[in-house]
Amino acid sequence: MKVVLNEEMRKIDKTTIEKYGIPGIILMENAGLGVVEEIIKDFKRDSNFTIICGRGNNGGDGFVIARHLYNKGYNVKVFIVGDSRDISKDALINFKIIQNLNINITNILDEKDLLKLKEGILSSTVVIDALFGTGLSSEVKGIASEVIKYMNKYSKYIFSVDVPSGICGDNGQVCSLAVKADKTITFGLKKCGNILYPGAEYCGELILKDIGIPREVVDLMNLKFNIITEEIVKDSIPIRKKDSHKGSYGKANVIAGSFGMTGAAILTCKSALRSGLGLLRLYIAESLNFIIKTNVPEAITVPLGEIRKGVIGINNIREILEGTKDADVLTIGPGCGNTSELSEILKRIIGEVDKPMVIDADGLNVLSKNVEWLSKKKSEIVITPHLGEMSRLTGLSIEEIKRNPIEVAKNFAQKWNVITVLKSARTIIASPKGEVFINVNGNPGMATAGCGDVLTGIITGFIAQGIEPLKAAIISVYIHGLTGDRVAEKKGEYGLVAGDIIEKLPYTIKDVIGR
């Protein structure tokens, strides 16, 4: 499913109008009807509506909504924020229609008009926010900011049209303040601001409506941003053949764990095996071998001599490199410790290993001091940073990344030619070609130690099974989030731990692929 930026949606609308001859006023009519269709599902004929409109096309949608609700017998009041003489072209046509119908219209020009708005909101069952939509490009100021405050304070229920007013349609950020909707109806394609936080929370329930944009227009745009769906995932996981053996499903080498951090290695290994991996070798300090063998008997361990307790060093590199010759993927970082020894090993591996790699956790912390190593890589690399790790990799603050996570992930992926999995409430996968995939499942219960290690293991397992790294990352992020949601349904978000996801993982995969 494609998702768009504001400018992309404007180009889609423009192409629909100019190339395919579908007038903008028809698109506006269909948008208004889409909202009315949702309203009449939820609210009876005795409901009262206050519709708050801007002077652009979002306001025009509001005028269409007002007309159809009025014609269906609902009680309707319309408030226009600003001077109605400045209403845009298509919106003006619909404004004149509601004038001719003698629908109650009030202009909000200054603070005294806010009292009328307050009365209208308090007497209404529903408030419809048709103020800005995707038309907002700056901070909300002046009388509009007061209108939004009144909506949030006095409304019983709010429908927002396209995007809650005050939310940036490109990145979901709040432009000083925004409408907190109960339901948002968006049109044609979902906007990035609908699905990225905090915008997703301000949208409430999100409904997508078709307004008659030809499919060919969307195809012409060569849109790069996508929402991950179950269909994408299901079609990417290969069917297992009856005549197969463990070698058929890949070999993974993992470098993980250190003294006090064996849990990260155990979680990574278990999740890789539970995702369908055929054979896993874990390179571990010899003093930690017993702990691993006790907890993951299915893994082959390669105990290595130690520089100090629980830490392997560059003197082990020959054995590590030799072992990659028959591996399908190499994963490094979970629980390794941010050490100079790991730094030496990682530099050699990036520069010499020609197999797909997954770098996570301490591997990323080491890499953040030496990002230029990526320019010498011999194979495809998947990195899986959380916000803090991405901050260290890019030099940007966490707040800067949160303001525009898609751009940050995309720019890093393209600059360093690596598949970037930026983990957050909405995990974003960016490819070196500029493609972006956004995951919308998962829950706050997954914000717990070890869940990142589980994701790393799943990605490792799917790459080993022959799925190309970008697809493996997409599949893994979706399966990981969906499994977390299923665990939360049974156990709740507070008690969810990483091991719960591993235990539920095989059942999720089985249900998704249908076999």
Query: Coil, strand, or helix at residue 143?
Result: helix
Segment 30-55, tens digit of pLDDT? 999 999 999 999 999 899 999 999 99
Q: Which of 39, 17, 41, 20 is nearest to 28 (CA)?
A: 17
Of the chain, the percentage scoring pLDDT greater than 90 comes to 96
Nearest to 67 by CA among 38, 104, 26: 104
Q: What is the mean pLDDT of residues 499-515?
A: 95
The larger pLDDT score, comparing residue 30 to residue 89, is at: 30
Q: Which two tokens stand for residue 69?
A: 């609700």
pLDDT tens readout for residues 391-420: 999 999 999 999 999 999 999 999 999 999
- Which two structure tokens, joined as six digits, stand for 300? 């082959």
Decide: residue 376, CB within 10 A, 0-12 exposed, 13-18 middle, 19+ buried: exposed
307, 261, 303, 262: which is closest to 282 by C-alpha? 303
300-307's contacts with Cβ under 8 Å and 24+ in sequence apart are 307/341
Mean pLDDT of 183-194: 98
How many angstroms separate the Cα of 485 from the Cα of each of 221, 269, 342, 476?
A: 33, 22, 34, 14
Strands (DSSP E) contained in 85-213 are 104-108, 126-130, 158-161, 183-187, 190-191, 205-209
Largest CA distance in the chain: 86
Domain locations along the chain: 3-222, 247-513
pLDDT tens digit string along 209-251? Answer: 999 999 999 999 999 999 999 999 998 998 898 999 999 999 9
Q: What pLDDT does 76 receive?
A: 97
Spatial CB neighbours of 289, under 8 Å, sequence gap ≥ 6: 301, 303
Say what the alpha-carbon torsion angle 263, 264, 270, 274 is, to the nearest 10 degrees: 140
**Quick one: angle between helices 111-122 and 142-154, nearest 10?**
20
pTM: 0.95
Pair 268, 457: CB distance under 8 Å: yes
Query: Helix 89-100 to helix 57-71 angle, to the nearest 10 degrees?
Result: 30
* Close Cβ partners of 233 (under 8 Å, ≥ 6 residues apart): 474, 475, 478, 479, 512
| Mean residue pLDDT across the chain | 96
b/e per residue 70-88 (b: at least 16 CB within 10 A): beeebbbbbbbbbebeebb
pLDDT band at 317 (very low <50, low <70, confident <90, very high): very high
For the residues 490-514, what does the mean pLDDT come to?
Answer: 96
Binding site residue list for (6S)-NADPHX: 57-61, 133-139, 162, 264, 335, 386, 453
Confidence tier at 471 by pLDDT (50, 70, 90): very high
Say if 3-222 and 247-513 have the same CATH topology.
no
The tens digit of pLDDT for each residue in 51-85 reads 999 999 999 999 999 999 999 999 999 999 999 99
The CATH class given to the 3-222 domain equals alpha beta
Binding-site residue ranges for AMP: 423-427, 452
Q: Does domain 247-513 have CATH number 3.10.20.740?
A: no
| Annotation: binding site | 57-61, 129, 133-139, 162, 165, 264, 335, 386, 423-427, 452-453
pLDDT tens per residue across span 435-452: 999 999 999 999 999 999
Q: What is the pLDDT of residue 135?
A: 79
